[in-house]
Amino acid sequence: NETIKTIKLKNIIIKIIIGDITIEKTDAIVNAANSTLQHGGGVAKIISDKGNLQKESDQYIKEKGKIRTGEVGVTSAGDLPSKYVIHAVGPIWYGGSKDEAEYLYMAIFNSLKRAEELQLNSIAFPAISAGIFGYPIEKAVKQYKKAVDNFDNQNPEHIKEIKWIIYDKKFIDHFLKEF
């Protein structure tokens, strides 16, 4: 994976990286999950297949129930090189009238909050909601940035590094423009 930009905020360093999130060595990677953790396609299938995580995900849902949009659930990282997978449920894009921006913001912010509660130092995100869920990337990056800024402003003790992993090269300019 290749880091193309590093940005220093008050407490946190942001890295914009091109590549594959499953090979990132970081305390947690975030999965673009659905509410039942059925990792059937997109980045979720890649994370689940490589990490061998479907069984543990099914067990999670059985014990704790579905994850609502904007919320997160945590499993181990299975066979992946990180410690945890934080499964964030981003919104499906319906055109912008169904509070999609607020839900996307929450999905990112709640992932960061959970990582901080787990006392982790680093976390990597894919472009949540901007694949199968259809959220326009130029709009999505604004919510990613807002969530990261607000989290940084809370002066977290543990999280020091947030990585954005870009898989779809068409997204690069949008990330560079917003961050």
Which CB sits closer to ligand ADP, 138 or 157? 138
Nearer to ligand ADP, 120 or 127 (CB): 127
CB of 153 to ligand ADP, least distance (A): 26
* For ligand ADP, the closer CB: 151 or 175: 175
Q: Tell the smallest beta-carbon distance from residue 5 to ligand ADP (Å).
A: 16
Q: Least Å distance between CB 93 and ligand ADP? A: 9
Report the residue number, 47 or 159, with the smaller CB distance to ligand ADP: 47
The residue ranges that bind ligand ADP (CB under 6 A) are 20-22, 32, 42-44, 46, 90, 126-133, 165, 167-168
Taking the complex as a whole, the smallest distance from the CB of residue 175 to ligand ADP amounts, in Å, to: 11
Q: In what order do the strands lie in the sheet with 122-125?
A: 2-8, 13-18, 161-166, 122-125, 28-33, 84-89, 72-76
Q: Shortest Cβ distance from residue 155 to ligand ADP (Å)?
A: 29
> Of 102 and 157, which CB lies nearer to ligand ADP in the complex structure?
102
- SS3 readout for the chain: CEEEEEEECCCCEEEEEECCHHHCCCCEEEEEECCCCCCCCHHHHHHHHHHCCHHHHHHHHHHHCCCCCCCEEEEECCCCCCCEEEEEECCCCCCCCCCHHHHHHHHHHHHHHHHHHCCCCEEEECCCCCCCCCCCHHHHHHHHHHHHHHHHHCCCCCCCEEEEEECCHHHHHHHHHHC
